[in-house]
Structure 1
Amino acid sequence: MTTGPDGLRSLHFEGRYRSDREDVVKGFYLPAFSVATSYSRAVGYFTSTSMALFARGIGNFAERGGRMRLIASPHLTEDDVLDIERGYDVRAVIARAAERQLEAEQGDSVLDGLGQVGRLIAEGRLDIKLAFVEQRGRIGIYHEKLGVFRDAAGDLIAFTGSSNETLGGLAANFESVEVYRSWVDGDGVRALRLEEDFEALWANQTQNLRVEDFPDVARDRLVKLGQERDSPLSPHDDALLSPPVAVDEATHLAIPNWLTIRAYQRQAVESWLRHRGRGILKMATGTGKTKTSMIAATKLADVLRRREEPLVMLVIVPLQHLVDQWVAEVEGFGVRPIPVYESSQKWLPLVEEQLSQVRLGQRPIVTMVATNASFAGSRFQSILSRISQPLLVIADEVHNLGSTAYRSSMPSNATYRLALSATPERWFDDEGTDALIDYFGPIVFELGLGDAIDTGALCRYTYHPRLVELGEDETQLYIDLSTKIAKYVAAGESITDADLNSPLGHLLRQRAGVLGHAEGKLAVLRDDLGAHADSWFQLVYCAEGTRPVPQGDPRGPNQLREVMQLVGRDLRLATHSYISDTPRAERKVLLRRFGSGDDLRVLVAMRCLDEGVDIPDARTGYLLASSSNPRQFIQRRGRLLRLADGKDRARIFDYLAVPPAGTPINFDIERSLLTRELERANEFGKLSENYEATLDTLRPLKERYQLMHL
C-alpha cells in the first residue's frame, strides 16, 4: 500500500475537533484515512448495523489495502451477564451474543455492509475482538473510545473522544475528539501511550478488562455472507460522506408504499384525530392495531412538521418481545426507534442524546419503545418529566397499564394519547378501567370480531367444544372447593365481584385449576391431534402451573410436560414448548421454524402466545387451559384468526371440564360457576362456521343447569 510522500505528516491536523467549530468527519477522519496504512480502533457496541456502517465508512481505505483492527463491546443481555457471572463458558456466551446480533433481520444495505465485513475478514484486512469489564466477579460494559492511525513512514496519530464508529457517531451527532500527533512536541508521548493502551487491549493485558477473539461461528457467518452478497466494496461507497439509505436516520415518519390502508383503519385514524389526538382503539386481535396506530402517528407528525414542531413518540408495551416487534414496525415507517428495556446503560445515553437534539432543533423526531417495567422505572420517569416538546404516548395492550402502580406513572405532559386493545376493560377492576379512560380518553373506534371477519380482516373458523368429565379424585376436590366457596357466598360475598387476591378469589382460582388441569382432557386431546396428525401449524395452550391436588399431597403433574410427552413421544409429531423461560432469540427461531410448514408441526404454549405474538400461519388451536377471563380467550382466538397465504379458515378445539351429572353440589353455586365456562363457549361458538353443531354439543349441559338462555 502506498501513501503520499510524507503520509500523515504531510497533512494539517488540529489538536482538537469539535462539531461547533469544525466538521469532524471531513476535517479529521477522511484526511487520515486517505494516507494511513493501518487503523486500530476501540469503540462502542458490536451490532450488525454498526458493523455494516464500519465497512461502508472505510471504503477508500480498504480499497487501497489498509489493515484494520477493531475492539468492540459485545451486546450482552442481562441473561448473558448472569450466565458469565454464574461460571458459564465465556466464549460460548460471547458467541451467542454475536450470533444474536447477526441473526437480527436487516435490509439489503446492512446485509451488503456485513458482506463487505466478511470479505475484509477473509482477505486478512480486518480483525475484530470483543471486550468487556470483568472485576470482582461482576461483568460490565467496555465504554472507552480511542483510535490510532499509522502510515508507511512510521508516523502515527492517536485520538480519543466521544464519537462511535457509526453514522450517528461520525456524522449526525455533536462530537469532539482530542488528537495527538507523534511528530509534534508534547503530542508524541501521549500518542505512543494511547497506542500502547490499544496494544495492551489487543493482547488482553489490561487489568479488569477481558478481551476475547471474535467467535469463529460469527466470523464464518460473516465470511459466508461476503461470498453470498455480490455488492463489491467500492472506494466511492463511503458512509462518512453519503450513507446508504437503509441505515440513514430518516427525518420523518412516512407511510410505506407497500402498505394498503384498509377502510376501517382510515376510519379509526380519522376518529382519533377528530378527538384531538386522544382516545382508545378497541379492535379485535389480528386486525392491525399496530399499523393503524403508526398511520395515526404519521398523520400527526405531518401536521406538526407543517408547524415546524418536532414529535417525541413513546410506545409502551407489556413484554420485551413486543418491543422487538414494535421496533420493526416503526422502522417500516422510516424511523429507527430506541428500544427501552433491560439495563439502562444500553438505552439511557441514546435517549438523553436524541432528546437533547430535539430541544436544540437538530432532530425532528425521537421514537422510543419501552416495556411497562422500564417505562415505570425511576430513570425513565425522570426523563419523561423533562420533555417539553409535543409528546405522543401509544399504549399497546393498554389494559395492562390500569393497575395502581402503572397508571400513576402515565406522563401528564403527553399532549397526544392513543391506547390499543381488543379488550381495554380490565377484568374485575372498574376503577382501573375508569382510570385508563380518564387518561387516554374514550373508545373512539371499535371493530368487533364479527365485523372483522365479515370485512375480511380475519379468517373464518370452526369451533369444536369438547366436554370432559372430571375423574373421581378430581370430583371430590372440586366438591370440597365448591363447598368452601358456598360458605363465602352464604356470608354475602359475590362470585362475580370477588377480589382475585381474597380468600374467595384464591378458592375460585383453585377450582379453575381443577377444571383446567383435568386429566381426562389429555385422552380427548390425543384423539383430536391424532385425527390431524398430517396437519401443520398447530398450537396447544396448556393450563398454568401444576394439577391441583388435595391438601397435604405432593404437587400434581405439570400439564405442559404431559402434553409434550403425548405429542412428541406418543404421537411422534415434531413439537417444541414455548414458555416464559424460552429465551427471546430462541422464540424467534421457533416461530420461524413453525411458520416454515416443513419443520415443527406443533407448538405447545403456556401463556406466552397470548398477547402480541404474530403467528398468522397458525390454523388449529387446542385450548386445554380453562380460563373465564375474556381477555385471555379473546387473545388466543385472535392468534388463530390472522390472515395468511393459503389459509381460508381456522379450527378451534376447546376442552371444557365438568363434574359428572348428579355430583352433590349446591345447585345455585354450581350454576353460577359454570355460567362463566358456558359464556366463553357461547362467545366462541356464535361467530363460528358451525354454530349449530356447537349448540348441539352444549345443549345437555345447558339443560342440566338451566342455562338455555346463553
Structure 2
Amino acid sequence: MADVRLVYEGGTIRVEGVERLTDAAPDGAFSDIEFDPRSETGRVPAVQYAALRDRLAELDIDVDDAVFESASLNLSSDYQLREYQRDALGAWEGNGRRGVLELPTGSGKTVIGIAAMERLDVPTLVVVPTIDLLEQWEKELDREFSVPIGRLGGGEQRVEDVTVATYDSAYLRADELGNRFELLVFDEVHHLGGEGYRDIARLSAASARLGLTATFERSDDAHRAVEELLGPVVYRIDAEELAGEHLAPYDIKRIEVELTPDEREEYDRHQEQFTDYLAKSSITLTSGSDYQKLVKRSGTDPRAREALLAKQRAREVMMNAQRKVDRLADLLDRHRDDRVIVFTAHTELVYRLSERFLIPALTHETAASERRAILDRFRAGEYSRVVTANVLDEGVDVPDANVAVVLSGSGSEREFTQRLGRILRPGAGKRAILYELVTEKTAEERVARRRR
C-alpha cells in the first residue's frame, strides 16, 4: 500500500495519508499542506501539485497518484522550427517546462506552442483572449493534429484532449478542468494577470505551463502574479533582431504636426484647468496608481471631476488634430500602391476618416462577419487600406500590410509593439514603414516617448 495518495478535487490536491508524512519527512518539509477536518486529509492548492510531487520523490515516499489519467495522443506536426524558435522552446524546457516566451507579433509564437504540444504529447488546454484567436488556433490545430479539437467559447462548450478556450470560458470552468490537461498554453499571456483569470492557472494541476506574448510586463505589475503561476520570462527576442530575415525590415518615422490656432486655444484652456487643480491639490502624477487615486477622488469632489473632464477634452483635441488628418491625406497619396493600416484611439475619428477617404472602418461596433469580410477583401487586394480603433491591436489575423499610420494611441509599449507587428510579415523585397503622428507642444509628446 502506498504511503500517500493524491487526488484532484475542486481546484485542490487532496493528500490522503498525510499523517504518515510526519515521520517520513524533515521538520517543516510539508508545512504548506493544510489539514482538512471534514475529509480528514491534507490539502494543497492544485497549482502546487508539481512541487509536492517533487518533494515526495526526493524523500522516496511511495505515492499513489490519481490526479491525472495520462494518455498518449500521438501528436505530430509538419512544422520545421526556425533557430530562434528552437532556442525559445529549449529555454522553456530547460526551465522545467514552465515560463513565458516573449517574441514579436508575426514571429510564429503559435508554431512554438504547437511544437511544445507535440514534444510533450499530453492533453493540452490552449487559452486565448478573443474569439478571433480561438478560431485561428482551432483551425491551426485541426490542420496539424489528427485528433478532435475541443472548443470552449463562441457559443460552443466541447472538451477534447486538445482544447482551445477563451480566458472567459476557461475561468468559468477552471475547477472542473483542473486535472483534465497536463499542459497549459496561454496565448497573449499578459491577460492572465487579470484577478479572475488567475484562477485558470491557480486551480490547475498541470505541471507544464507555457506563456506566449509580444509584451509581457503590465503597467499594474500584475505580470508578477503571472510569474508565480507560470514562471518568469525564459526567452526574449525583439523585432529588430529578427528584421531582415524572419520579419520584414522596417523604419519608424515620427511626424510632428501643429495644432490649429483654435485647437491650440482649446487645448491650452483645458490643460491649464487640469494642471491648476493638481497644483492647488498638491497632487503629483508620478505613477498609474496616483492617477487612480485622482479618479476615486472625482467621485466625491466636483472639482476633481471637472479637472478630469478637462484633461479628457484636451486629450481629444491633441489626438484628433486636424493637421494629422491633412498629413494622413498626404501619406495615403504617397502610398497609393501599398497596403496601409491606419490606427487611431477614437472610434468617432475612425468613422470620420472612413467617410472622408472612403476607407473601410473596423471598430468594436463592427460585426464579426463584416470584419472577416473586410479583412478577406484586404487580403485579396480588393481593399488596399483600412482604418481602425484598437480592434486590430491584438488577437486578429491581419492580412499582409507594409505601411502603418498611428494617428493616436496610448502610452502603452504593448499597443505600439502590436501595431508595428501588423506590418512585419516578411515578403520578397518588402520593407515596412510605420508613421507616428504626434502633435507638437502637447502631452502627446510624452505619451509617444513612453510607448517607445
| 1:619 aligned onto 2:402 | yes
Q: Which residue of 1 aligns with 2:446?
A: 675
Aligned 8 A contact 1:526 1:566 in 2: no
Query: 1:367–1:292: structure 2 CA closer, same or farther, 3 Å change rule?
Result: same
After TM superposition, the structure 1 = structure 2 runs for residues 325-474 of structure 1, keeping only pairs within 5 Å, are 325-334=136-145, 335-343=147-155, 346-347=156-157, 350-351=158-159, 354=160, 366-377=161-172, 380-385=173-178, 387=179, 390-410=181-201, 411-427=203-219, 429-430=220-221, 432-453=222-243, 456-474=245-263
Q: Which residue of 2 aligns with 1:631?
A: 414
1:653 match: secondary structure:
strand
| 1:253 aligned onto 2:75 | yes
> 1:297 aligned to 117, 122, 130, which one?
117
| 1:488 aligned onto 2:310 | no
Superposition deviation, residue 500 in structure 1: 5.6
After TM superposition, the structure 1 = structure 2 runs for residues 62-81 of structure 1, keeping only pairs within 5 Å, are none
Superposition deviation, residue 515 in structure 1: 2.3
Q: Which residue of 2 aligns with 1:659?
A: 441
Which 5+ residue runs of structure 2 have no aligned equivalent?
Answer: 1-71, 297-307
Distance 1:402 1:606 in 2: 24
Q: Which residue of 2 aligns with 1:538?
A: 340
Distance 1:600 1:638 in 2: 20
Aligned 8 A contact 1:330 1:336 in 2: no
Q: Which residue of 2 aligns with 1:585?
A: 369
1:493 match: secondary structure:
coil
Q: Which residue of 2 aligns with 1:602?
A: 385
2:383 match: secondary structure:
coil
2:422 match: secondary structure:
helix
Please tell me the residue identity of whatever aligns with 1:565.
E
Superposition deviation, residue 275 in structure 1: 1.1
Distance 1:478 1:409 in 2: 45
Distance 2:315 2:112 in 1: 36
Distance 1:600 1:282 in 2: 32
Superposition deviation, residue 393 in structure 1: 1.2
Distance 1:491 1:433 in 2: 31
Q: Which residue of 2 aligns with 1:324?
A: 135
| 1:266 aligned onto 2:86 | yes
Superposition deviation, residue 440 in structure 1: 0.8
Aligned 8 A contact 1:516 1:627 in 2: no
Please tell me the residue identity of whatever aligns with 2:327.
V
Please tell me the residue identity of whatever aligns with 1:542.
T
Superposition deviation, residue 566 in structure 1: 2.0
Distance 2:433 2:385 in 1: 14
Q: Which residue of 1 aligns with 2:19?
A: none
Structure 1 residues 630-654: Cα deviation after superposition (integer angstroms, max 9, x where no partner): 111110001111123x352112121
Query: 1:323–1:493: structure 2 CA closer, same or farther, 3 Å change rule?
Result: same
1:404 match: secondary structure:
coil
Q: Which residue of 2 aligns with 1:279?
A: 99
Query: 1:331–1:279: structure 2 CA closer, same or farther, 3 Å change rule?
Result: same
Distance 1:527 1:496 in 2: 37
Query: 1:292–1:497: structure 2 CA closer, same or farther, 3 Å change rule?
Result: same
Distance 1:369 1:419 in 2: 14
Superposition deviation, residue 616 in structure 1: 4.8
Superposition deviation, residue 659 in structure 1: 3.5
Q: Which residue of 1 aligns with 2:324?
A: 521
Aligned 8 A contact 1:623 1:655 in 2: yes
Distance 2:261 2:199 in 1: 48
TM-score (norm 2): 0.75
| 1:315 aligned onto 2:126 | yes
Distance 1:514 1:373 in 2: 36
Please tell me the residue identity of whatever aligns with 2:228.
D
Structure 1 residues 479-536: Cα deviation after superposition (integer angstroms, max 9, x where no partner): 2443324543672432433456443695665544332222221111111112222x14
Query: 1:617–1:444: structure 2 CA closer, same or farther, 3 Å change rule?
Result: same
Structure 1 residues 408-439: Cα deviation after superposition (integer angstroms, max 9, x where no partner): 44333121111111111012x12x11101111
> 1 or 2 for the larger relative contact order (CA 8 Å, sep ≥6)?
2
Aligned 8 A contact 1:255 1:333 in 2: yes
Query: 1:269–1:509: structure 2 CA closer, same or farther, 3 Å change rule?
Result: farther
Aligned 8 A contact 2:412 2:450 in 1: no
Aligned length: 365
TM-score (norm 1): 0.49
Please tell me the residue identity of whatever aligns with 1:329.
E
After TM superposition, the structure 1 = structure 2 runs for residues 220-239 of structure 1, keeping only pairs within 5 Å, are none
Superposition deviation, residue 618 in structure 1: 0.4
Distance 1:273 1:314 in 2: 18
Q: Which residue of 1 aligns with 2:43?
A: none
Distance 2:386 2:241 in 1: 29
Superposition deviation, residue 381 in structure 1: 2.4
Distance 1:426 1:289 in 2: 19
Distance 1:404 1:526 in 2: 43
Superposition deviation, residue 260 in structure 1: 2.7
Distance 2:369 2:237 in 1: 33
Query: 1:262–1:383: structure 2 CA closer, same or farther, 3 Å change rule?
Result: same
Structure 1 residues 333-385: Cα deviation after superposition (integer angstroms, max 9, x where no partner): 21342121133xx31xx32xx4xxxxxxxxxxx111111222222xx224224
1:286 match: secondary structure:
coil
Distance 1:280 1:486 in 2: 44
Query: 1:613–1:647: structure 2 CA closer, same or farther, 3 Å change rule?
Result: farther
Distance 1:368 1:512 in 2: 43
After TM superposition, the structure 1 = structure 2 runs for residues 68-107 of structure 1, keeping only pairs within 5 Å, are none
Query: 1:677–1:509: structure 2 CA closer, same or farther, 3 Å change rule?
Result: farther
Superposition deviation, residue 675 in structure 1: 3.0
Please tell me the residue identity of whatever aligns with 2:236.
E
Query: 1:532–1:674: structure 2 CA closer, same or farther, 3 Å change rule?
Result: closer
Superposition deviation, residue 676 in structure 1: 3.1
Q: Which residue of 2 aligns with 1:476?
A: 265
Query: 1:626–1:587: structure 2 CA closer, same or farther, 3 Å change rule?
Result: closer
Please tell me the residue identity of whatever aligns with 2:380.
S
Please tell me the residue identity of whatever aligns with 1:675.
R
Please tell me the residue identity of whatever aligns with 2:153.
Y
Query: 1:622–1:513: structure 2 CA closer, same or farther, 3 Å change rule?
Result: same
Distance 2:409 2:371 in 1: 25
Distance 1:512 1:315 in 2: 38
Aligned identity (percent) is: 29
Please tell me the residue identity of whatever aligns with 1:562.
R
Q: Which residue of 1 aligns with 2:64?
A: none
Structure 1 residues 285-305: Cα deviation after superposition (integer angstroms, max 9, x where no partner): 11111111111121111xxxx
Please tell me the residue identity of whatever aligns with 2:149.
P
Aligned 8 A contact 2:344 2:406 in 1: yes
